[in-house]
Structure 1
Amino acid sequence: MRVIAVSPESKYANEADVIVRLLQAGLMRYHVRKPSWTLADCAELLDAVPAEWHARISLHQHHVLAESYAVGLHYKDGMAVDHALLGGRICSRSLHRLDELETLLKQVDYAFLSPVFQSITKHAYGPSWMEADLAAALSGACAAKLYALGGITAANAARAMAYGFEGVVVHGSLWQAADPLEAFAHFRKEAA
């Protein structure tokens, strides 16, 4: 199962070390999503991660850092993709509506569709579609580029994959655990 992780929004102790260890343990990509961080904060985190891992990291903010680091770029729902910055980099985006899939997936390498299940970190935030509609939307070729985000746990990851997603995105199940590395190991073992 292909697994991507999204960072905690705030500072996390030894995050650079955790990033490397997650990637070494089989994580496909690590998305740095730090809405309140400055450009300098993000650069400091990237500087703390050995350069050989940068190609498996994507930034949600401060895309200009891609001029100095070999990272991928992620775009929020509704945000235009800046093709001038891409230069062959991995490009992804967030999607929240099933009717956007065909059009917006053509612009990126992959996308997150959320929320697939009830969110772990955002209370009262769950899917806005019926399961049958999700399954129908994912029956086309677009599913090969879609990752399920929102409420993903070891207990429901297989269900997400059964809908037809390429993989899953973990967030709350990692960062609300006492040890995200142990949580990821458990996730890989139980969700496989």
Structure 2
Amino acid sequence: MELIVISKPNFFKGEAQLINGLFDQGMQRFHLRKEGGDQSAYQKLLGEIEPRYLDRIALHQFHELASQFGIQRLHFKEAQRLALLHWHLKGKKEITLSTSTHSVNHLPDLLNFNYTFLSPVFQSISKENYPGFLTEGFQLPSFGDTKVIALGGVTAPKITELQQMNFDGVAVLGTIWNEPEQAIKNFKRLQQACQTTV
């Protein structure tokens, strides 16, 4: 199963070093999402990440920085997708497009995207009162080439269950960033669980 790490929503001291450390441990995809952050801080963080890892990063904001840093992964929030803000990138094979949705009913509409986050699958770790929608025996329907990534409350013990539900991968936020000092350790546990389920 694929494993994607989403950044902590706010900037913090030592963040770039920790992101580089996660890449050193084999992180294949990192989503840089900083709601409310300004472009200069976003740009500074990107500048502190090892250049050899920049092609593994997806930008959630300030897509115009992609060319400066050689990034070819762009994420569009659900509202941006519905406003067709991604449309000018349709068919550009060099650009990997991702989006977010909160309903299985929307999955057939995502044909222009390489993958989507579907959330919250379980009670969120990073947000209070954000319950998951999965029910016992849930099976993700097959609908096309867009991969579906489970987001929300994902921990290592739940990864096998998510694979059995037909998810293509998992994305994590709170499991990594709620205890930054344990980020590498928790990532390795998730990584092992994903590799075991292949």
TM-score by length of 2: 0.86
How far, CA to CA, are the matches of 2:74 and 2:160 in structure 1?
Answer: 27
Partner SS for 1:148? strand
Partner of 1:124: 129
The reply to whether residue 75 of structure 1 matches residue 76 of structure 2 is yes
Structure 1 gaps, min length 5: none
Which residue of 167, 170, 174 maps to 2:169?
167
Partner of 1:93: 99
Partner SS for 1:74? strand
CA deviation after TM superposition for structure 1 residue 160, in Å: 1.1
How far, CA to CA, are the matches of 1:84 and 1:174 in structure 2?
Answer: 34
Partner SS for 2:188? helix
Moved more, 110-119 or 76-85: 76-85
Which residue of 177, 183, 187 maps to 2:186?
183
CA deviation after TM superposition for structure 1 residue 2, in Å: 1.3
Partner SS for 2:30? strand
How far, CA to CA, are the matches of 1:151 and 1:12 in structure 2?
Answer: 22
Which residue identity is paired with 1:99?
A: N
Residue 3 to residue 29, structure 1, CA distance change in 2 (3 Å): same
Alignment of 1:1-192 (within 5 A): 1-71=1-71, 72-79=73-80, 80-84=84-88, 87=92, 88-104=94-110, 106-128=111-133, 130-132=135-137, 134-135=138-139, 138-142=140-144, 145-177=147-179, 178-190=181-193, 192=196
Task: For residues 103-148 of structure 1, give each alpha carbon's deviation from its aligned partner in whole angstroms, at most 9, with x where no partner exists.
Answer: 12x111111100011101111112346445x41xx23144860110
Q: 2:113·2:146 contact (CA, 8 Å) conserved in 1?
A: no
How far, CA to CA, are the matches of 1:26 and 1:143 in structure 2?
Answer: 25
Partner SS for 2:79? coil
Partner SS for 2:186? helix
Residue 58 to residue 114, structure 1, CA distance change in 2 (3 Å): same
How far, CA to CA, are the matches of 1:164 and 1:143 in structure 2?
Answer: 13
How far, CA to CA, are the matches of 1:24 and 1:184 in structure 2?
Answer: 11
How far, CA to CA, are the matches of 2:12 and 2:6 in structure 1?
Answer: 13
The count of residues paired between Structure 1 and Structure 2 equals 188
Structure 2 gaps, min length 5: none
Identity of aligned residues (%): 31
Residue 154 to residue 129, structure 1, CA distance change in 2 (3 Å): closer
How far, CA to CA, are the matches of 2:133 and 2:164 in structure 1?
Answer: 19
Q: 2:107·2:143 contact (CA, 8 Å) conserved in 1?
A: no
Q: 1:64·1:85 contact (CA, 8 Å) conserved in 2?
A: no
Q: 1:2·1:167 contact (CA, 8 Å) conserved in 2?
A: yes
Which residue identity is paired with 2:173?
A: H
CA deviation after TM superposition for structure 1 residue 47, in Å: 0.7
Q: 1:143·1:165 contact (CA, 8 Å) conserved in 2?
A: no
Q: 2:20·2:49 contact (CA, 8 Å) conserved in 1?
A: yes
Partner SS for 1:20? helix
Residue 144 to residue 162, structure 1, CA distance change in 2 (3 Å): farther
